[in-house]
Structure 1
Amino acid sequence: MKLLKTLSIAVIAFGCLAASASAADKNIDPGVVNRLPSKPANEKVYIDLQVAKKLDEINSKYKVGEAFSEEDAAYVKAHALKVPERKAGAGFEAEAEASVQTDHYWYDGSRYVNGTGYYSQGYVTSDLGWIQHTVTTNLAGWVSDNKYVPKITNEVKYTAYGAVGTSGIGLIADLTLTNDCLNANYCHQQKAQGWSGVPVYYAIFPKSVFNTADVGAVDVLPTRTREW
């Protein structure tokens, strides 16, 4: 996977990539480049695709509120994102809506099929409060060479894990934010969804799916990096 270089930063908003961004490297139409979210200057890969796929596999085996097996629970604890410990005390009720952790993640993925590039890039923000939480997306999928396809779908799956039963851990939230663009070269998603609960861990799985007339469906699952 090839990351774009020399980037200007914007806060969860569209911006222009710097003049030296790799439009030429990826053979992307400049008009498309100018519509992309800006990329953070400070980033670190925090989870690889193999781990993401394994967590997604675990999630698919259970319903919300169902306790995981010991093996699956151990994997979640080892690989999902840890939520800071919540400590009740003076002013706890007054701070019930206050944010205790806000994480911004940049995603970058690409695939090449029969000489055509398919790309998925952008931000997802996880804003965790004491009880009320919000996930916000700002990402895009697009095709190189001004090629149009019948449909582009962007999908972000957001899962949260917490206490289930007397001593188990399981899914307490399972959200999917999706949008489609028909006969498109570029498709942008900018959505927000709230949920409530007491999470201990969480995970995010984005992807863009390109339904083409010549090679069928092309899935792009981007690698995720974290802005510190």
Structure 2
Amino acid sequence: MYISRKMSKLIFLSLVLLVGTLSMASFVFADEPSLSLDPIQPSEIQHDINKNLNQIQIAERFNEINSTYEVNEPFSLEDTEFIRVYADSANEPSIFTPSQPGDISTMSFFNSSYSKPFNKTLTKNGVTVNFSGRVYSNIGILNHSYRGNVTSKVTAGGPKVSKIENFVTNVAYGALGSSGTYVGIVYDGNINNSTTKYKTWSLDETQRYGAVTVVYTYTNAYTRITSTGGTFRLYAF
């Protein structure tokens, strides 16, 4: 099969970039104590803050971690441990039930993807809303994406509702490896839309982003309902 000189250069440059990326990940950890980024079991937890958490507490810890650190700021050891424990491996069965909050997935430096469905209903401020759909995440070498296909439907109290907003959020955790920590946020973003007219509102969009050495991602979704009684949120996980 004939390959043009231009195509050969492109393939060569792509391979150089890949090798450089993986070499950089190795270099980051060269001068630090060896610590695997693989998921660990709950029985291996060393920090009390991460022990014996129920599903609500796990979700709260994720929210706390994601709001505490800036992008590219190394996590503490206990927060690194939390990410490694409460994660679904891309290559291993989940250690949690399908109703676990959010969906964290560990990713190698090669393509990996997952998706997860949800269906939640909440009544608050005299309004009942059903929030259902599926979130997706795809992790590559340098280029990644996440998607949400979600629908919010007000089933009671419709006249009280003035706005429906749908959000799909994604946080990517990558290898940083400085000062004895090994994971930090390398991307934090969301996709959203809203309506002030309809009582059923859907979002189906994909967001692409670039980041180096992504190891874990956390993808979630929520609807925010504004009514005469106030504003509330209903999370997918």
Rounded to whole Å, the distance in 2 between the matches of 1:115 and 1:152 is 15
Partner of residue 134, structure 2: 123
* 1:142 maps to 2:153: yes
Partner of residue 28, structure 1: none
Rounded to whole Å, the distance in 1 between the matches of 2:165 and 2:175 is 33
> Percent of counterpart pairs with the same letter?
24
* 1:152 maps to 2:164: yes
Which amino acid in structure 2 is aligned with residue 111 of structure 1? L
- Verify the 8 A CA contact 1:82 1:201 in the aligned structure 2: yes
Please state how far the C-alpha of 1:222 moved relative to its aligned partner: 2.3
Partner of residue 185, structure 2: 171
Which amino acid in structure 2 is aligned with residue 158 of structure 1? N
SS at match of 1:171: strand
Post-superposition CA distance 1:29-64 (Å, at most 9, x none): xxxxxxxxxxxxxxxxxx944322310111100110
Which residue, 113, 122, 130 being the options, matches 2:124? 113
Rounded to whole Å, the distance in 1 between the matches of 2:156 and 2:107 is 44
Richer in helix (by share): 2
- Verify the 8 A CA contact 1:150 1:184 in the aligned structure 2: no
Structure 1 segments of 4 or more deviating over 2 A?
Answer: 47-50, 80-87, 113-116, 165-168
* 1:73 maps to 2:70: no
- Verify the 8 A CA contact 2:105 2:218 in the aligned structure 1: no
Which residue, 194, 201, 212 being the options, matches 2:227? 212
- Verify the 8 A CA contact 1:127 1:133 in the aligned structure 2: yes
Q: Which moved more, 1:144-153 or 1:101-110?
A: 144-153
Post-superposition CA distance 1:120-169 (Å, at most 9, x none): 11111112222211111110112114714110111121001111143521
Please state how far the C-alpha of 1:119 moved relative to its aligned partner: 1.6
CA RMSD of aligned residues (A): 2.0
Which amino acid in structure 1 is aligned with residue 131 of structure 2? S
State how many pairs are aligned: 164
Once the two structures are superposed, the pairs formed by residues 4-15 of structure 1 within 5 Å of their partners are none
Which amino acid in structure 1 is aligned with residue 182 of structure 2? G
* 1:83 maps to 2:106: yes
Rounded to whole Å, the distance in 1 between the matches of 2:175 and 2:184 is 6
Which amino acid in structure 1 is aligned with residue 190 of structure 2? T
Once the two structures are superposed, the pairs formed by residues 184-199 of structure 1 within 5 Å of their partners are 184-197=198-211, 198-199=213-214
Partner of residue 5, structure 1: none
Rounded to whole Å, the distance in 1 between the matches of 2:56 and 2:222 is 11
Structure 2: gaps of 5 or more residues? 1-53, 88-103
Richer in strand (by share): 1
- Give TM-score scaled by structure 1 length: 0.66
- Give TM-score scaled by structure 2 length: 0.63
Structure 1: gaps of 5 or more residues? 1-46, 88-99, 224-228
* 1:53 maps to 2:64: no
Partner of residue 39, structure 1: none
SS at match of 1:56: helix
Please state how far the C-alpha of 1:178 moved relative to its aligned partner: 1.4
